[in-house]
Every structure is written in C-alpha cells, then in structure tokens.
Structure 1
Amino acid sequence: MFQHGSTARRAGLVAALGLGLVLTAACGGEDGPSGSSSSKGRSGSWQVGDCGGPDPKQAPDGYRPLGCDEPGATFKALEVTSAGILPGSVQCPAGTDLMIRVSVSYGSSAENGSKGGGIPTHTVCGRNLSGDHPGDAGAGGGQLVKGDCVSSSAQEVACVSAGRDAFTVLGLVEEKGQCPAGTTEPMELTLSVGRPYDVICTAPV
C-alpha cells in the first residue's frame, strides 16, 4: 500500500536453503508461496562466499548448499544477516538476486524434508553465478535500490521496458525532506515495521 498516488516497495525473491536441517522459504514477494527443503548434510553456519543451488527433492522452492564448483550451484552468498521475522525487515546489499531465509526444524521433518515450518535463524543474500542479475539496479527484480524504476501502480519494473508513467528511484529515505536534489515525486509508503525507509524519492524516467 502507498500514499500520494505512488508506489510501495517490491520485495526480492526469497528462497529456501538447507543447512543440515529443514529450511522454509517463499518466492516472488513478501507474501509468496512457501515450501521447504532438506540439505545434503552440510554442517556449520553460512558464510559470505558460500554457494548453493536448487534442491530437486524440495522443488520448486527448495535450495541446498553446494560447493561453488559443483554442478547445480546457482548462487553465491554476498552477505549473511539476521533472519528478519517481519516481511521487509531485512535489507540485502545492492546486487542481491535472492533473499534466502534459513529456518531450523527438528524431528521427523528434518529427516525426510517434508514441508513444514521452522525457526528462522538468518538470511542469506545471494547473487546468481550466471550472468542473469535481476537484482542489479534497473533490472526489474530483487529489492528496490537506487537506480531502479517503478511504475505508478507501485511495482518495480525493468528500466529498459519502463513506460511513460514510470519513475526512476533516486533514493530511499525515512522522510521526504531527506530526498536528494532532482526528486519531483516523493512517494510516501504506509507504515511497515522493520522497513529501513518510508519514502521512495523518484523523478520521471
């Protein structure tokens, strides 16, 4: 939801990743469909530089840790941060293509990889190993960042295909008065606990 006839932030893709236990994930937005995955037995905590890829046992939303040179590895961790209980409360760095919420489950679900809930432990901000980077500024995916484009209907869009009613994001701030020079359409968002900004500073594309 948004005010001033303008836009709300579109969250990045969220997926699931195994860490020796079952993990829960959602894709396509803050309230996307959920799934779960089991790991291939890797132990230890996620670190920057670790890689992972889809888990065929938990398709379509499951992921598992893999070596960066293993077949099936599709992304690398740019940052590892807190789980973020509330949607939108985690802000990954620019260039993040995947937001991976890691959750721990105990008991039978951890052994058979069945779908179920878990306790969120941390979030992995991942970047694709391929040349496809929807999280790059202007590419139309990932979290909203400076340099992205948004439509007048509150959706992030790829700048290359943006229409006449689209706007360029010049900044993400807490108050309108903090918007940078050149801002002509400060978009005030409705309150969302945990989101690091409340105003999208924009100008026509």
Structure 2
Amino acid sequence: MFQHDSTRRTAARRAGLVAALGLGLALTAACGGGDGPSGSSSSSKGRSGSWQVGDCGGPDPKQAPDGYRPLGCDEAGATFKALEIAPAGILPGSVRCPAGTDLMIRVSVSYGSSAKDGSKGGGIPTHTVCGRNLSGDHPGDAGAGGGQLVKGDCVSSSAQEVACASAGRDAFTVLDLVEEKGQCPAGTTEPMELTLSIGRPYDVICTAPV
C-alpha cells in the first residue's frame, strides 16, 4: 500500500498483475519433445523447462483464471511474448520488469500431485516472466494506466495510477521514480513520498500537474 506523505495523506493501493504459473519438477516429457505438464514453464520448443526472452504463452484452461502455459508465438491461444526473464521476487514490489510490460507471471516449482496433473497450487517461486501482449492492447505502456508505474504514467493525488487520456484536473504526470525527494528532476512540483515498502526500488514519485 502506498501512502502519500503530503497534506493530502491518503492511502493508495496498486493492483498487482502477477499471476501464478505452476511448474512440475518431472519435465521428462517436455525435455523429450512431448507434451509437458499442464502449466509447465517448458516452452513448446522443448527448452528443458526454462522460459527465455522471445518465448510466447497464453492462458491455461486447466489453471483458470490466472494460469498460463507456454505456446509458440504463431499458435492459437498465444497472447503474450516474454520481454525479460526476471528473478522470482518473493518480496512485494521487488521485481521490476522493463517498460512496456503488460503482465507479470510468477513461475513456481510445484511438488506432489500438482506436478503430475498440472493443477494450480503453491510452490517455490523460481523466476518471473515479464510479458507483453501480442495484441494491440498494451496497458503497460507509459500513460496507459496499467502495469508497473514508470516515467510518463499519470497518478491521482493519492498516488493511484490512472490513464493519462482520462485523467482529471487533479492528476499528475510522473517525471521520475527516486529514492529521495532531493533526487527529483527539475519541473517536479509535487514529490509524493511513499510509505516504506521492502523491495520497492523507489520511495518518491516525482510529479507535476498534467
């Protein structure tokens, strides 16, 4: 939860886009070129269970509503492409994907029956897939109102991200994201100091009126 530390101290919650993706330990079928376990992080090209930049994927019907599976970029059902493969990031806010990321998928190793039948469940996080939609819908683009907060986005007076195109008069443009207020660039008129959050790489949103 973010808390604006100015005269307008109000709480703001940013919705996470992280979805769970189960990865079975038994990847024999995937490594051998066969069908891997449902929800496995092995790509359709048989890369020993690891996601790589440029791989594609889409929703996994067997792990609805927030499960994903690897797919070829030209396969029916593919909805995103991996821009970057980031660390697992157990702490909230510790994973930072590149600009243009529309969704973040946490890949976990699952044990027991979940590894065999592909059912969604808990596991040990191994890495995060930073994905960009294959469609023209890109909520993660600067100003679009979704994804992680980046330069060029817009926020309300309570530090809640909003789409710049529909922002009201009380909205602000994000000029930078820094650790200390003194690091804000010229033109900053409303530095928004946030409550401490372990793992988040910034504590101040440098803003100016839209």
DSSP 3-state at the match of 2:116: helix
1:58 deviates by: 1.0
**Matches of 1:128 and 1:170, distance apart in 2:** 25
- Structure 1 stretch displaced more, 1-10 or 31-40: 31-40
1:154 deviates by: 2.6
1:107 deviates by: 1.3
**Matches of 1:80 and 1:18, distance apart in 2:** 16
2:70 to 32, 57, 65: 65
1:26–1:34 CA contact under 8 A, matched in 2: no
Tell me which residue corresponds to 1:3.
Answer: 3
DSSP 3-state at the match of 2:28: strand
2:5–2:194 CA contact under 8 A, matched in 1: no
Alignment deviations for residues 47-84 of structure 1 (CA, whole Å, 9 cap, x no partner):
10000000011111111000111000000000001100
- Cα RMSD of the aligned pairs, angstroms, is 6.8
Specify every segment of 5 or more residues in structure 2 that has no aligned partner in the other structure, as ranges: none
* Cα 1:154/1:27, change in 2 over 3 Å: farther
Specify every segment of 5 or more residues in structure 1 that has no aligned partner in the other structure, as ranges: none
2:154–2:173 CA contact under 8 A, matched in 1: yes
Work out which of the two has the higher radius of gyration on C-alpha atoms and give 1 or 2.
2
**Matches of 2:70 and 2:12, distance apart in 1:** 32
1:20 deviates by: 4.8
1:105–1:119 CA contact under 8 A, matched in 2: yes
* Cα 1:15/1:3, change in 2 over 3 Å: closer
Tell me which residue corresponds to 2:19.
Answer: 15
* Cα 1:133/1:126, change in 2 over 3 Å: same
Percent of residue pairs bearing the same amino acid type: 93
1:175 deviates by: 0.4
Aligned residue pairs total 205
Misfit runs of 4+, over 6 Å = 22-42
1:138–1:158 CA contact under 8 A, matched in 2: yes
* Cα 1:122/1:30, change in 2 over 3 Å: farther
Alignment deviations for residues 8-44 of structure 1 (CA, whole Å, 9 cap, x no partner):
5735511233555599999999999999999998733
- Structure 1 stretch displaced more, 24-33 or 114-123: 24-33
Equivalent positions of 1:53-92 (< 5 A) are: 53-92=58-97
DSSP 3-state at the match of 1:90: coil
**Matches of 1:27 and 1:154, distance apart in 2:** 46
2:106–2:128 CA contact under 8 A, matched in 1: yes
Alignment deviations for residues 68-120 of structure 1 (CA, whole Å, 9 cap, x no partner):
11000000000001100101000000000011110011111111233321000
- Structure-1-length-normalised TM-score: 0.85
**Matches of 1:134 and 1:89, distance apart in 2:** 20
1:183–1:201 CA contact under 8 A, matched in 2: yes
**Matches of 1:77 and 1:195, distance apart in 2:** 22
**Matches of 1:136 and 1:176, distance apart in 2:** 25
**Matches of 1:134 and 1:179, distance apart in 2:** 25
- Structure-2-length-normalised TM-score: 0.83
* Cα 1:9/1:165, change in 2 over 3 Å: same
1:134–1:142 CA contact under 8 A, matched in 2: yes
DSSP 3-state at the match of 1:140: coil
- Structure 1 stretch displaced more, 20-29 or 90-99: 20-29
* Cα 1:125/1:158, change in 2 over 3 Å: same
**Matches of 2:31 and 2:2, distance apart in 1:** 22
